[in-house]
Amino acid sequence: MWGAVPARRPGRLCRAAFPVLQGRVPPEHRQLFRENLRNSEAALKRYTELLEMVSKGGGEKAILRHTQRNKKLFVRERLKLLLDDESFLELSPLAGLDMPYGDVPAAGCFTGIGKICGVWCVVVANDATVKGGTLYPIGVKKQLRAQEIAMQNRLLTVYLVDSGGAFLPLQSELFPDKSHGGRAFYNQAIMSAMRIPQLAVVCGSCVAGGAYLPTMSEETVIVDKIGTLFLAGPPLVKAATGEYVSAEDLGGAKLHSEVSGCSDHFASSEKEAFEYIRNAVSTVNYDPLPEKATEHDSPLYSSDELLGLAPQDYSCSLPVKLILSRLMDGSRFQEFKANYGTTLVTGFGHMEGHLVGIVANNGELSHDASLKGSHFVQLCSQRNIPILFFQNTAPHSAVPTSISQAEAYSNRLKAQASMMAAVACAAVPKITIVIGGCYGSESYVMCGRSFSPNFLFLWPNARVALVDSRHFSTVPQAGDNDCTGDESELKRLKEKLEEESSAFYSTARLWDDGVILPQNTRKVIVQCLEITEQQKYQVVSPCQYPIIRM
Ligand code: COA
């Protein structure tokens, strides 16, 4: 969130004063660099294969049925018509893979942030080639995360609805609870009351619960012949009344535009519907965004080298300033408390002209490092500067071996608690990039998911777990510190924990906003900074009521 400070683009002054970081990889680290590089290349290959797989949605047969028999555009084509010709920040494209209930490519729905008529908007679009666009539990989670991002960053939201509603075999996992399907409709009302506009296109079926999404949107357009909206479809009507009624007569575009009023606009084609949405976006009355700053320096070192700096293991981490020197404008960085608590690096720099505060792990989060982190995070919050967390937390579990060590650990705990409080309450945008380990409680301190950063992305080499299973020598037993357990049990546990620690396991479950390539990090961060900044140019007056369809 941003504090109530008047709109001003920060960080244009004194840029030249920041010292240049030394970014050459020292000879003693070259071997480690090569090993990390090999690991990153393998992870990158896996990432590319998975992306390729999800780009086919529900598969070729389903795409043919969707485009030829049902005469609808594939979801990616829809996005091309809707968005400005600029980059789209897709969120969690690998969500839904390898779930207990099978693969659900992209969780059956696309989410992301793109520009429409120059305005950054959240887009939520069902992919009807994945089981008729029905919502699986992971699809519900993805939709709710997109709405959360819209609320936190005050982003206009567009829904492209083409969904058979709930995936019925899993109804108990997506219907009754607070964070299940109905929450999306609750959020819609709250978002409207917050003056976050929501627009919808009915470009396929909207059945049962799915019918509420367009009906609760502030403006809805329905596409002739392919858009239908009803609580129960023709088969249910037939079962209940014995009467056959066509989907078009029961809930087609004409009926909802002329009789029921569930839709506000009738479009004769999908293209016309997306044009309508683009026009509607230009009526939300936002101040135009300022021209993008074109003058900025690139980093002095190649971003491709980030692959060799991405640690394959915590013990393979190289000094984090080598990473910063490949991300910051001109590799320039104004360090804060450079000689104190050096296992955390804090300071200021620019990313394509945006002034940012950096908090980056450079070893274990010691007592002094945590105190420095608390101080720096408060400094950024006071000055209204967004904070970037580069997380590579240590996997150790602190078991003291002496009284004095126990005392030191308690002091560290207290310092970490103070940093957690500072991070939780910093009223500025926070973006977390997990560049290595996301382990245990230190991951909370470094603005992990439970600390609600505006965005959280992982590098493909990242590992997310309470402990690092690779360093287990015995099986921990409940209530028994002297661990026992046979070899095979240990092996099974290690394998399970190992699998559950990978970046792909994490992103499939939506514990993050997606895996990003190290060499794209700067671009993604700049997009996020622009997105979070947009709300400074909205005139927001208090309003308690949503727009209610009459
Ligand atoms: N739950 C589980 N699976 C569903 C489903 C649902 N609600 N709706 C559709 N599917 C499955 C179909 O069984 C089919 O699976 P298959 O590919 O393994 O055969 C796949 O999704 C595609 O459905 P199909 O009917 O072949 O495609 P379509 O494009 O002709 O129609 C729908 C799509 C969504 C319009 C149509 O399937 C439908 O009306 N479904 C019922 C919707 C409903 O009653 N929902 C109530 C939810 S509370």
pLDDT digits (tens, 9 = 90+) for 247-260: 999 999 999 999 99
Cα 115 to Cα 120, 198, 282, 418, 471, distances in angstroms: 4, 15, 12, 38, 46
47 lines ligand 1 (CB under 6 A): no
pLDDT at position 414: 96
Where helices occur in 175-329 by DSSP H, the ranges are: 183-193, 212-215, 234-241, 247-251, 253-255, 270-281, 306-309, 320-324
Q: CB under 8 Å to 56, separation ≥6 — which residues?
A: 63, 105
Cα 164 to ligand 1 centroid, rounded to whole Å = 6
Taking the C-alpha atoms of residue 175 and residue 180, their distance in angstroms, rounded to an integer, is 5
* Residues 304 and 111 sit within 8 Å (Cβ to Cβ): no
| CA-nearest residue, atom 40 of ligand 1 | 164
Reported as a single tens digit per residue, the pLDDT across 80-122 is 999 998 789 999 999 999 999 999 999 999 999 999 999 999 9
Q: What is the DSSP string of 130-193?
A: TGGGPBPHHHHHHHHHHHHHHHHHT-EEEEEEEE-SB-GGGGGGTSSSTTSTTHHHHHHHHHHH
Closest CA to 392 of 447, 353, 347: 447
* pTM for this predicted structure: 0.94
Burial of 363 (0-12, 13-18, 19+ CB in 10 A): middle
pLDDT of residue 395: 87
| Gap from CA of 124 to ligand 1 centroid (Å) | 20
Distance 520 CA to ligand 1 centre (A): 38
**Contact, 429 vs 386, CB < 8 A?**
yes
Q: How many CB atoms sit inside 10 A of residue 86's CB?
A: 9
Smallest CA separation from ligand 1 atom 11, residue: 131
Cβ atoms 219, 264 nearer than 8 A: yes
Q: At CA 302, angle to CA 297 and CA 304, rounded to 5? A: 135
CA separation for the pair 119, 116 (Å, rounded): 5
Which letter does DSSP use for residue 117 in this model?
Answer: T
Q: How many residues does the chain have?
A: 550
pLDDT at 315: 92
Residue for token digits 């941003």? 2
pLDDT tens per residue across span 156-214: 999 999 999 999 999 999 999 999 999 999 999 999 999 999 999 999 999 988 899 99
pLDDT of residue 543: 75
Q: Is the CB of 168 under 6 A from ligand 1?
A: yes
Rounded Cα gap, residues 453 and 433, in angstroms: 10
Q: What is the pLDDT of residue 87?
A: 80
Report the C-alpha gap between 182 and 174 in whole angstroms. 9
70, 75, 109, 131: which to mutate for ligand 1, most atoms within 8 A of CB? 131
- Protein residue with its CA nearest to atom 3 in ligand 1: 167
Enter the DSSP assignment of 5: P
Cα–Cα dist 214/225, whole Å: 17
- Does the Cβ of 204 fall within 6 Å of ligand 1? no
Ligand 1, atom 19, lies closest to the CA of 131
**Does ligand 1 come within 6 angstroms of the Cβ of 167?**
yes
Q: Which helix (H) or strand (E) element contains residue 347?
A: strand 344-351
Measured CA to CA in angstroms, residue 202 lies from 135, 147, 155, 467, 489 at distances of 16, 18, 20, 46, 52
Q: Write out the two tokens for 439.
A: 């382990």
The CA 58 to ligand 1 mean position distance, Å, reads: 13
Tell me, in angstroms, the distance from the centre of ligand 1 to residue 519's CA.
Answer: 40
Same topology for domains 59-281 and 303-472+486-534, yes or no?
Answer: yes
The CATH code belonging to domain 303-472+486-534 is: 3.90.226.10
Structural class in CATH, domain 59-281: alpha beta
Atom of ligand 1 lying closest to residue 204 CA: 35
If one residue of 75, 134, 167 were mutated to test the ligand 1 pocket, choosing by the most ligand atoms within 8 A of its CB, it would be 134
Residue nearest ligand 1's atom 23 by CA: 132
Q: Where are the domains of the chain?
A: 59-281, 303-472+486-534
Q: How far apart are CA 48 and CA 46, in angstroms?
A: 5
Ligand 1 contact via 506 beta carbon (within 6 Å): no
Q: Which residues of the chain have pLDDT under 70?
A: 1-16, 293, 397-398, 472-485, 539
